[in-house]
């Protein structure tokens, strides 16, 4: 086995040779001429001139050797359905979907927005887009009409693919009305909408615009659609993520570099082999879903398990029974899901035979040491905390057990992964922090390795402005996360340095929630902050000043308005953005220049010292905030 230190060193000091080797893990139609073009930093082009296709690497390349092996397993504990598709079945379904998409006028380079629940057709749709060179943009199905509308407005898709409904905790959530509402609020509408009718909530169809997947599937069954070969830098997809502003950013990824990065991570980090089963419990609407439900495992020739439902329904043992049934070898989940399980701890929780499982990977939010220890003791398998972002597409910090077996440390996502030149810098001076255990901002020296954000779609300038700064003549990428590194080189993540919050592993922009709340007629000003929570990591808490104070002066009046506000957020953004608490306060703390002090509010909520109150225009405001927080 190779030594990881040497493996990592080569990736940073000899990137051309290192990545050329990794590139042999995928199929290329035409070889690349140059490994890296970094002539106009911070823009990096990997595998220049190489020609490939993601769908080919995920499906077609396996047809010769494992056509009959399982590629996709779908389990819905919501509807009680369970389906299995071999590579050959998936090949056929994806070609049918590709033929449908082409018939609806989509061409190479066009964008297709996918607003879908966790059903096989969502995976077919993503792979079909990749197959024909269309750029998919999946919007998380839990988002409601405003979030959806802003993403449609930005993406300007040629086609939207959606479904009649999703299902959560036994409750049907109709998607089509949310989509129709969103479409009323956008300036450019797609010519076509493709609807997968699951038979859950009869969708009303708009003549000339809406098409039925069921009818078109009948028409195109058995279609042959060849892969569109793409130059390595051609965009494969965009995926929206939240930032400091209310406008979500469309993270755009390339094709060849992403394929190489995923294939390499499946080998070095996730240690997956053909014929095995991978189970990522995320959603296709998030980056983990893209990389490790859909593309990564399939590229590795593994079966991938797509799960619709809760971790606790019909009971908290469900995921472990699926591990047993489908002989899952690697599982990927979130700390919140494990904390939820921990709440339901009982003897029957881990009754299933887990002998197939080699490791459990957890990401998306900090894994607190007690939760890490609890699940480790329960499973007696390596628990691999890994840190990354929508922007990176694959882990920045982890342990690469496929390269060299290394110990994890509870509370730490581990070491920098190959290709990521990770450092900590002082937030004020930009100087590198070299001493162990001193807090700094986690940055990555450019170029980012293959598979990472290529740009923000249609907005190169925003990409550079948002993420990059030039320090001592070198472009550095900011993760916006605080971190520390210990004497062994292991990193610990201490939370975001911007206004992004992380609720149950879902990244949310506080500004988006504030904008929705501002839509209430009695809201004068609002500040939303993330407050630490023992189950979800963080929850959103909204502080509001009312225009008409008398309306919220009584308990009943305030409760009625809080309900209206929560409904508004749910309608606009979806249940995941719903604040855990809404508090009316007389005023919000601001600096003398009028800047809202969210961090001060957050400190009060978490019982910490609010810091430098001298900059605050009126320090007495803080007392009222503290009072509101402690009053129930």
For the record, the structure tokens of 555 come out as 């308990």
Q: Taking the mean position of all CA atoms in its chain, how far away is CA 583?
A: 29
Site string for ligand AMP, 118-137 (x = CB under 6 A): --------------------
Of 157, 235, 289, 366, the one binding ligand AMP (CB under 6 A) is 366
* 410, 372 contact by CB (below 8 A): yes
> Minimum distance from CB of 164 to ligand AMP (Å)?
28
Considering only 48-56, 82-90, 128-136, 364-372, which stretch makes contact with ligand AMP by CB under 6 A? 364-372
Pairing of strands 440-445, 421-425: antiparallel
The verdict on 515 binding ligand AMP (CB under 6 A) reads: no
Phi, psi of 219 (to 5 degrees): -65, -40
Reference 85, options 121, 44, 35, 131; nearest CA is 121
Residues 455-494: x/- map of binding to ligand AMP (CB under 6 A)? ------------------------x-x-----------x-
CB-nearer residue toward ligand AMP: 213 or 420: 420
The 3-state DSSP class for residue 262 equals helix
**Which C-beta is closer to ligand AMP: that of 529 or that of 588?**
529
CB neighbours of residue 547 within 10 Å: 12
Instruction: Check if the beta carbon of residue 560 is closer than 8 Å to that of residue 604.
Output: no
507 binds ligand AMP (CB under 6 A): yes
SS3 483: strand
Beta-carbon count within 10 A of 530 CB: 23
Q: Rounded to whole angstroms, how far apart are CA atoms 356 and 341? A: 20
> Which 236-255 residues touch ligand AMP, going by CB under 6 A?
241
The smaller minimum CB distance to ligand AMP, of residues 216 and 399, is found at 399
Contacts of 284 (CB under 8 A, 6+ apart): 114, 116, 118, 122, 123, 126, 138, 290, 293, 294, 306
User: What x/- string results for residues 190 through 229 when contact with ligand AMP is judged by CB under 6 A?
Assistant: ----------------------------------------
Find the part of the chain contacting ligand AMP (CB under 6 A) among 311-319, 346-354, 382-390, 514-522: 382-390
What's the per-residue H, E or C state across 431-449?
CECCCCCCCEEEEEECCCC
Q: Is 446 in the site for ligand AMP (CB under 6 A)?
A: no
Under the binding rule (CB under 6 A), the answer on residue 333 touching ligand AMP is no
Distance of CA 177 to the CA centre of its chain: 25
- Part in contact with ligand AMP (CB under 6 A); list of ranges 94-102, 176-184, 387-395, 548-556: 387-395
Nearest residue to ligand AMP, by Cβ distance, number only: 507
Instruction: Establish if 277 lies at the interface with ligand AMP (CB under 6 A).
Output: no
With binding defined as CB under 6 A, does residue 496 bind ligand AMP? yes
List contacts with ligand AMP (CB under 6 A): 241, 287, 363-366, 385-390, 413, 479, 481, 493, 496, 502, 507
């Amino acid at each position: 086995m190779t030594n990881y230190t040497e493996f990592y060193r080569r990736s940073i000091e000899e990137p051309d040779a290192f990545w050329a080797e990794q590139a042999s893990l995928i199929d290329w139609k035409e070889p690349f001429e140059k490994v890296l073009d970094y002539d106009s930093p911070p823009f990096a082009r990997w595998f220049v001139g190489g020609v490939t296709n993601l769908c080919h690497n995920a499906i077609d390349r396996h047809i010769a050797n494992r056509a009959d092996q399982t590629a996709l397993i779908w389990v819905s504990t919501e509807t009680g359905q369970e389906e299995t598709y071999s590579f050959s079945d998936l090949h056929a379904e994806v070609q049918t979907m590709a033929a449908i998409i082409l018939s609806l006028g989509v061409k190479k380079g066009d964008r297709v927005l996918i607003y879908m629940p966790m059903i096989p057709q969502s995976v077919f749709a993503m792979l079909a887009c990749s197959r024909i060179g269309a750029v998919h943009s999946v919007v998380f199905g839990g988002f409601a009409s405003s979030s959806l509308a802003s993403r449609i407005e930005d993406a300007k898709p040629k086609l939207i693919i959606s479904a009649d409904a999703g299902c959560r905790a036994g409750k049907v959530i109709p998607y089509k009305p949310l989509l129709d509402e969103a479409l009323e609020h956008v300036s450019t509408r797609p010519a076509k909408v493709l609807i997968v009718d699951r038979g859950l909530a009869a969708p009303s169809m708009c003549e000339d615009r809406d098409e039925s997947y069921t009818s078109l599937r009948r028409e195109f069954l058995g279609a042959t659609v060849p892969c569109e070969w793409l130059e390595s830098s051609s965009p494969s997809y965009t995926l929206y993520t939240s930032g400091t502003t209310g406008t979500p950013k469309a993270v755009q990824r390339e094709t060849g570099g992403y394929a190489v990065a995923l294939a390499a991570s499946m080998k070095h980090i996730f240690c997956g082999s053909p014929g095995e089963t991978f189970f990522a419990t995320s959603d296709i609407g998030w980056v983990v879903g893209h990389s490790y439900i859909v593309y990564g495992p399939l590229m590795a020739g593994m079966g991938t398990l797509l799960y619709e439902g809760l971790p606790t329904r019909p009971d908290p043992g469900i995921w472990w029974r699926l591990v047993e049934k489908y002989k899952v070898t690697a599982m990927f989940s979130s700390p919140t899901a494990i904390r939820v399980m921990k709440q339901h701890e009982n003897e029957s929780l881990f009754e299933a035979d887990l002998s197939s499982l080699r490791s459990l990977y957890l990401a998306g939010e900090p894994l607190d040491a007690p939760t890490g220890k609890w699940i480790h003791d329960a499973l007696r398998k390596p628990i691999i905390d890994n840190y990354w972002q929508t922007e990176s597409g694959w882990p920045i910090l982890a342990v690469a057990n496929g390269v060299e077996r290394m110990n994890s440390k509870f509370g730490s996502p581990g070491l920098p992964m190959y290709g990521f030149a990770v450092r900590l810098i002082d937030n004020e001076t930009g100087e590198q922090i070299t001493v162990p255990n001193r807090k700094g901002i986690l940055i990555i020296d450019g170029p980012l390795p293959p598979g990472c954000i290529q740009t923000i779609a249609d907005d190169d300038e925003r990409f550079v402005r948002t993420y990059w700064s030039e320090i001592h003549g070198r472009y550095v990428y900011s993760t916006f996360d605080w971190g520390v590194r210990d004497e062994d080189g292991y990193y610990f993540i201490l939370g975001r340095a911007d206004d992004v919050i992380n609720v149950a592993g879902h990244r949310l922009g506080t500004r988006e929630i504030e904008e929705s709340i501002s839509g209430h007629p009695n809201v004068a000003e609002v500040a939303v902050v993330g407050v630490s929570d023992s189950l979800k990591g963080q929850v959103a808490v909204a502080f509001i000043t009312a225009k008409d104070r008398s309306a919220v002066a009584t308990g009943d009046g305030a409760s009625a308005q809080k309900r209206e506000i929560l409904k508004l957020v749910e309608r606009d953004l979806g249940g995941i953005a719903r604040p855990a608490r809404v508090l009316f306060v007389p005023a919000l703390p601001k600096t003398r220049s009028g800047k809202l002090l969210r961090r001060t509010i957050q400190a009060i909520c978490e019982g910490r010292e609010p810091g430098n109150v001298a900059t605050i225009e009126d320090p007495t405001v803080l007392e009222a905030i503290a009072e509101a927080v402690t009053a129930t």
